[in-house]
Structure 1
Amino acid sequence: MEDASPATFHPTCRQALGRGLYLGAVVALVAVAAAAVVAPPGWVWAVLASGPPATGALLGLVLGRCTGTEVSAGGIRTRSVFAGDVAPWHRVVDLRAERRGGRTVVSVYLDSGASVQLQAPYDGGLFAADPRFELKMFALSHIWRSNRFGGLPG
């Protein structure tokens, strides 16, 4: 199993687009509120209202490929734009799908009692929906059980 290529899970394009739009909309709200004090010309309002969501959507699509989860014979590695963490299989005691803030996420429980929320896969409403979440969760569970217990019966 050491020679097998790692399985990777990334946010779907829709999830990455949704996250970028959400962050861009928050930036647009702050920019419009700040501009209300200065009262700029009309064209500036249009740029402040539409520029950040459009930029956020593009950045979400590009940076969405940088985040995710990589599963290999060595363990589970989470990757994000700013950080990453590795949990070797011998430290993983449980893997669960849990509801957190309107989403269903995968949490990895370690022997130290700590839990790590994976960057992907996840499922939620609207843009956060992943129609293949259950299949991805099953694959993660199967890989974990195979590495933890030496394979599944049957």
Structure 2
Amino acid sequence: MDAARFSPTWQQALGRGLYLGVLTAVVALLVTVVALSLTPSAPPHWAWPLLAFGPPLAGVLVGALVRPRVGTRVDARGIRTVTPFGEGVEPWSEVVDLRAERRGARTVVSVYLESGASVQLSAPYSGELFASDPQFELKMFALSHLWRSHRFGGVPS
């Protein structure tokens, strides 16, 4: 059973999906314009709105669907980071420090390991606009409390 579970907020998940969808739409429109310059045939009129608005809407939908499946899980074995592409487990015996650090426009949680390596957790994080998380400090405190509790006497039940 998980002692704690951290996922991106709804706002973060929808914002990330919208961001990736807009990037996809820009690339699709650019490819279409380049293809039109090479061939004389024009696409149907309905294709332009589909290329412009389809990917952002699909991105928002994917962000909403993927949200519960990504994040950070904390249990008696350690800290587990789950992404759509896999998962990584850092056992408690390897964790020497947890820190909130500024990386680009975001504040993220980094886990420092005995080997000297660091791992950035996929959640919680906070940033600007859609990436903000008003509960970030509380989540960081909870993670820190779980780590310290385990290091000095076991994970609380």
Relative to the length of structure 1, the TM-score reads 0.92
Write the distance in 1 (CA, Å) between the matches of 2:143 and 2:4: 9
Instruction: Indicate yes or no: 2:137 matched with 1:134.
Output: yes
Write the distance in 1 (CA, Å) between the matches of 2:104 and 2:84: 21
Report Cα offsets for 1:19-40 as digits up to 9, x if no partner. 0000000100000001112242
4+ long deviations beyond 6 Å: none
Count of aligned pairs between the two proteins: 148
Shift of 1:42: 2.5
Indicate which of 3, 12, 35 corresponds to 1:6.
3
Instruction: Indicate yes or no: 2:63 matched with 1:60.
Output: yes
Residue pairs, 1:67-106, within 5 angstroms: 67-106=70-109
Instruction: Indicate yes or no: 2:33 matched with 1:36.
Output: yes
Write the distance in 2 (CA, Å) between the matches of 1:121 and 1:92: 17
2:24 equivalent in structure 1: 27
* Stretches of structure 1 lacking an aligned partner (at least 5 in a row): none
Write the distance in 2 (CA, Å) between the matches of 1:135 and 1:42: 50
**Percent of pairs identical after alignment?**
64
For 1:65, what is the secondary structure of its paired residue?
helix
* Stretches of structure 2 lacking an aligned partner (at least 5 in a row): 37-41
Shift of 1:96: 0.2
Shift of 1:73: 1.4
Higher Rg: 2
RMSD in angstroms over aligned alpha carbons?
1.2
In the alignment, is the contact (CA less than 8 A) between 2:2 and 2:74 conserved in 1?
no
Write the distance in 1 (CA, Å) between the matches of 2:134 and 2:32: 40
